[in-house]
Amino acid sequence: MQTLHLPESSHPLVKSLFHHKDQELLTLFQNYPDQGKYFVAIFCRYALIVYTLIRHSVRSPVQADYLFSQTWRHIFYEMRPLNLREQDNTEGGTTLQNWLINITAICINQADLPPVESIQYSLSVAPPPLWCYVGLVLDTMEPLLRLILVMAQTFHWSETRISAYLQAEGESVSPNEVKELLKGAYRALGDNLPADIREIYFNDQTLASPLEENPDQRVFKL
C-alpha cells in the first residue's frame, strides 16, 4: 500500500503543537480562524488513520487521494462549529478520533468518485490543509479574478485562450490584461492565506513567484 508522506509534520510551527490534547487543538482551531497551524496539527495527527480507512475502501490510489482530500475538506468545515459533547449520549461526549472515523465512513459511503482519467488532483502538490485554506480565499475573491485563476490553474489554459473565452462571454479582456489579472489573483491568494499556512507550505513566500516561475506547481488543481 502507498505510504502517506506528511512533510508539514516536521515544521517547527506544527511540531510545537504536538503536546496539546485533541480538545485543546480543536478549541484553538475554532477560536483562531485566522491561523491555520491548529488544523494542520490535527491533520498530521489523524491523516494516517483517515487515509488507511479510505485506501482500504477505494481500489484506485488516484481516487483514494482524491477522496482523502475531499474528506478533509468536509472535516474542515464540519469541525469549525463542532461540539464533541453533543455528538452522542454518553457522558462526556465522543472523542475527536471517533468523530473523525465516523465522518470518514460517511464520506466513503457517500462518495461519487469521478473516473481516474479525469482526476488531476495531486496529494503532494496540494496537501488537504493547504487546499482547504486556498478554498476559503477563493470563496471571497472577486469573481473575475477567481474565474481566471481557476482556468489557469485547473484547466491549464493560456492567457490567449482565457481571453477568447471571456470575450465569448461578453468580457472584453485582452491576453495581456489576463496576464496582469492573473498576477493580481496570485497576489490576492497569497496575501489572504493565513501567514502560518504560507510559512508551513511556502516558507512564507507569496504564491505569485513560485507559481509564475513553475506553472506546473498547481496548488488547487482537481
Distances (CA, A) of 198 to 35, 67, 92, 151: 10, 24, 36, 23
* Nearest by Cα to 146 from 195, 206, 186: 186
Distances (CA, A) of 151 to 134, 159, 218: 15, 9, 12
What pLDDT, in 10s, does the model give residues 24-55? 999 999 999 999 999 999 999 999 999 999 99
Angle at 132 between CA 77 and CA 7, to 5 degrees: 125
What pLDDT was estimated at residue 104?
98
Pick 125 or 197 by higher pLDDT.
197
What pLDDT was estimated at residue 91?
57
What pLDDT, in 10s, does the model give residues 147-198? 999 899 888 899 999 999 999 999 999 999 999 999 999 888 888 999 999 9
162 and 178 Cβ atoms separated by less than 8 Å = yes
What pLDDT was estimated at residue 90?
59
pLDDT at 2 over 60: no
Give me the amino acid identity at 59: R
Q: Which three cell numbers stand for residue 176?
A: 495581456
What pLDDT, in 10s, does the model give residues 51-91? 999 999 998 999 999 999 999 999 999 999 999 988 765 55
* Nearest by Cα to 173 from 185, 160, 186, 156: 160
Interval 212-220 mean pLDDT: 48
pLDDT at 218 over 50: no
What pLDDT was estimated at residue 206?
52
pLDDT at 116 over 80: yes
Give me the amino acid identity at 163: S
The CATH classification number of 7-118 equals 1.10.1740
What pLDDT was estimated at residue 36?
97
Residue boundaries of the structural domains of the chain: 7-118, 128-213
DSSP letters spanning 77-140: HHHTT--GGGSSSSTT---HHHHHHHHHHHHHHH--PPPGGG----TTTS-HHHHHHHHHHHHH
C-alpha 144/C-alpha 65 separation (Å) is 30
